Structure 1
Amino acid sequence: MGPHSWVATSSSSSYSLDENTIRDGEYGMPSNCYCGGRVMRETSRTEQDPGKIYFSCEFRAKPSYHIRKWWDRVIEEELEILHSDIKRVSGEIESLQTHHRAGMEELISELKDGELTFIIMDMRIAEKRISDLKEEHEQSKAEITRLELVIGDFNKK
């Protein structure tokens, strides 16, 4: 069997799939199947794909549509998601820093006008958001490193 994201286990099934349900299982690590079953790790014992690791629905043998994805594809998709998150967070950090720098002259002027309290609150909120985004960015980088190690360990086997 190829790297299908879902498989129909019965051609006579009248089961219909909602487009959003299909999309939910199409990308990254699936946690639940379309049928509601848990998705579990499975190793192929077929001649065609011996030892190949899949993520498959626990009810895959029952008639319906079920998720079955190759492990390596899931990892690739998860890495793509993490890279996308890192780009997004980096962009937000850069935007906040640019906005913060651009507003400094205005803040100095407002300080002179006696609006110190509001400015300090705004600065603290912006600094907290920047700090949160930097932390999220570091967590995403750590997760990518962890996944790259898992892939490296898996490739050694």
Structure 2
Amino acid sequence: MGPHSWVATSSSSSYSLDENTIRDGEYGMPSYCYCGGRVIRETSRTEQDPGKLYFSCEFRARVSGEIESLQTHHRAGMEELISELKDGELTFIIMDMRIAEKRISDLKEEHEQSKAEITRLELVIGDFNKKYKAVESTFAIAAVLLLLAWFLVWFK
């Protein structure tokens, strides 16, 4: 995309003008151009496209001041977008989205399996605690009986 393309970054100062320009443009009309100028809206007054809205950079509009240059600028921006899409970027984006959706689905399934495993382990631990308490009780009873037998033998 050229330096005055209509696809631009958001107005947030935390964004880099270079890194997030296209990404921020996906969420609606951006506020700023690549060059840092504000994106402005113009209306065509030509016979070819009367009343058609065009988006341009404020610096581009100052330089030319003519609607014809805005039309050329708009068409150039569209041609750049089309050429980028022809280069396969859209295909890669769609593939990445499908991979991400599959990964999300897999993660949800893994999450459900983990929850089921946690429930199963909680039951096993509960059973173990019951058995441990029974063994502990049996051991305590055996110790008391052994002690009682020892006292009986000793004091007889």
TM-score (norm 1): 0.27
Deviation at 1:130, TM superposition (A): 1.3
Root-mean-square deviation over aligned CA pairs: 27.4
| Structure 1 residues 118 and 146: CA distance shift in structure 2, 3 A | same
Residues 123-146 of structure 1: CA distance to partner in whole angstroms, max 9, x if unpaired? 001111111112112211111110
Contact 2:10 2:30 in 1 (8 A): no
* In structure 1, C-alpha distance between the alignment counterparts of 2:49 and 2:128, rounded to whole Å: 16
Count, aligned residues = 131
Gaps of 5+ in 1: 62-87
| Structure 1 residues 97 and 113: CA distance shift in structure 2, 3 A | same
Deviation at 1:101, TM superposition (A): 29
Contact 1:43 1:53 in 2 (8 A): yes
Contact 1:44 1:51 in 2 (8 A): yes
Structure 1 match to 2:13: 13
Of Structure 1 and Structure 2, which has the larger fraction of its residues in helix? 2
3-state SS of the aligned residue for 2:110? helix
- Where relative contact order (Cα < 8 A, 6+ residues apart) is larger, the structure is 1
Contact 1:89 1:137 in 2 (8 A): no
* In structure 2, C-alpha distance between the alignment counterparts of 1:141 and 1:93, rounded to whole Å: 62
Contact 1:96 1:126 in 2 (8 A): no
Of Structure 1 and Structure 2, which has the larger fraction of its residues in strand? 1
- 1:144 counterpart = 2:118: yes
Q: Could you tell me the percent identity over the aligned residues?
A: 98
| Structure 1 residues 49 and 122: CA distance shift in structure 2, 3 A | closer
Deviation at 1:15, TM superposition (A): 61
* In structure 2, C-alpha distance between the alignment counterparts of 1:109 and 1:119, rounded to whole Å: 15
TM-score (norm 2): 0.27
**Which of structures 1 and 2 has the bigger CA Rg?**
2
Gaps of 5+ in 2: 132-156
Residues 40-89 of structure 1: CA distance to partner in whole angstroms, max 9, x if unpaired? 9999999999999999999999xxxxxxxxxxxxxxxxxxxxxxxxxx99
Find runs of 4+ consecutive structure 1 residues off by over 6 angstroms. 1-61, 88-114
